[in-house]
Amino acid sequence: MKQLLYSHGEPAGIGVDLILHLSKSKFLEKINAPFVCIADSKLLESRAKILGLKLKFIELQQLEKALQNKAGIVQFIKIADCKDPSPGKLNPNNAKYVIKNLNFGIKEASKNKKIGLVTGPIQKSNIMDGGFAGFQGHTEWIQKKTKSSNVVMLLSSKKIKVALATTHIPLTEVTKNIQKAKLIKIIKILHSDLKNKLGIKDPKITVLGLNPHAGENGKIGEEEIRKINPAVKACRDMGINASYAISADTAFNKKKLKETDAYLAMYHDQALPVLKAMSFGEAINITLGTSIVRTSVDHGTALDVAGKLKPNLGSIKEAIKAAEVQLQ
């Protein structure tokens, strides 16, 4: 039986709130896969009380015992103790709890291809402060734990899809991380998973240049000439429909959006502001190139509203739907 696990992320954020509010609705009843939250009962119950939500909590000892989803019920499995369930206030002592939950989800999804992992927002700085100094983010952690040679972060919505050649690194390190061999692997993964995970028959990929005006034939930088376009040519020779590097400042006009199934941006903030301007609250994060199905929300922990307001449920709904589809 297919199953979805939910690693809620930072306890002080809205990751917990999302699933509690969602469980009050009938949305999960339409998902044909039992949905199990990886969480401490103390955190779930205290947050539900703060939010004024009356829910029934069912603790599972084994994932195989999960039942079909029903409104008003939260199925969960406890892996670790949450040291501090308080909303809105970060506590580094919760870092191990977050990582243990995430590791459990990755492990179970790796063992069973019918299990998908949905993740809530994390606070990278708090995890680092809690003893995981090298932690960069979900994508990089999943790559490490699944021993994947290459992974690609894809932000996806109904309006636009954006993949990243580099993820959570300083801007000063981007240039040296743009290499021909690496780009070839990324474009191949993007092409393959657009077809196999997202069902796009003949993906059209628009590749963005690194430099302003895509370098203007080497006058404003040579990365396009020396690295990006040679990588694209190698992929085009394999039959992949990828464009040569174009200027990011004109890449998102209406005509180009219609012609593009996914963009490949050279760094994190090159294209994501466009995606979030067009689809914030409706987009999701998908990890490509790994053996597991993993989707996530497109937003952060929202510490200022955690435990106070009903959050926008659009992104978590889309992440759950996308994970279920990929398991088929």
pLDDT at 285: 95
Continuous segment of H or E residues that includes residue 327 = helix 314-327
Domains contained in the chain, number: 2
Question: Are 319 and 297 contacting, i.e. CB atoms less than 8 angstroms apart?
Answer: yes
- 78, 215: one domain: no
Nearest to 75 by CA among 88, 87, 86, 62: 62
| Short-list 70, 60, 163, 152, CA closest to 108 | 60
User: Are 1 and 143 in the same domain?
Assistant: yes
Alpha helix segments (H runs only) across 197-253: 223, 229-237
- DSSP letters along 122-159, please? --HHHHHHTT-TT---HHHHHHHHHT-S--EEEEE-SS
**pLDDT at residue 63 in the model:** 95
> Is the same domain home to 43 and 125?
yes
124-161: per-residue pLDDT in tens?
A: 999 999 999 989 999 999 999 999 999 999 999 999 99
49 vs 60: CA distance, rounded Å: 21
pLDDT of residue 168: 85
- What does the buried/exposed string (b/e) look like for 144-164 if buried means 16 or more CB atoms within 10 Å of the residue's CB? ebbebeebbbbbbbeebbbbb
Which residue range(s) make up the domain with 99?
1-148+290-328
Whether residues 127 and 159 fall in one domain: no
- Report, as ranges of residue numbers, the positions in the chain whose pLDDT lies below 70: 328
Contact 257, 195 (CB under 8 A): no
DSSP assignment, residue 243? P
Same domain, 118 and 80: yes
Predicted local confidence at residue 317, as pLDDT: 96
Clarify whether residues 129 and 223 are in a common domain: no
CATH number of the structural domain spanning residue 208:
3.40.718.10
**Hey, what amino acid is at 209?**
G
Structure tokens belonging to residue 326: 């990929």
Q: What is the pLDDT of residue 242?
A: 98
Q: Which one, of 35, 175, 174, 9, lies nearest residue 94 by Cα?
A: 9
Q: What DSSP string describes 265-315?
A: ESSHHHHHHHHHHHHTTT-EEEEESSSSEEEEESS---TTTTTTSPPP-HH
Q: Are residues 80 and 165 in the same domain?
A: no
Q: Which residue has the tokens 């009356």?
A: 54
Same domain, 43 and 11: yes
Q: Kindly tell me the burial class for residue 328, based on how many C-beta atoms sit within 10 Å of its own C-beta (0-12, 13-18, 19 or more).
A: exposed
> Are 214 and 319 in the same domain?
no
Claim to verify: residue 196 and residue 300 sit in the same structural domain: no
Tokens for 221? 């930088």
DSSP string, 48-113: HHHHT---EEEE-SSGGGPPPP-TTEEEEE--S--S---TT---GGGHHHHHHHHHHHHHHHHH-T
Q: Are residues 44 and 138 in the same domain?
A: yes
Q: Could you give the percent of the chain with pLDDT greater than 90?
A: 95
- Count the neighbouring beta carbons within 10 Å of the beta carbon of residue 8: 30
Same domain (yes/no): 311, 170: no
Q: Which amino acid is at 167?
A: T
Per-residue tokens: 298: 């497109």
What is the SS3 assignment for 320? helix
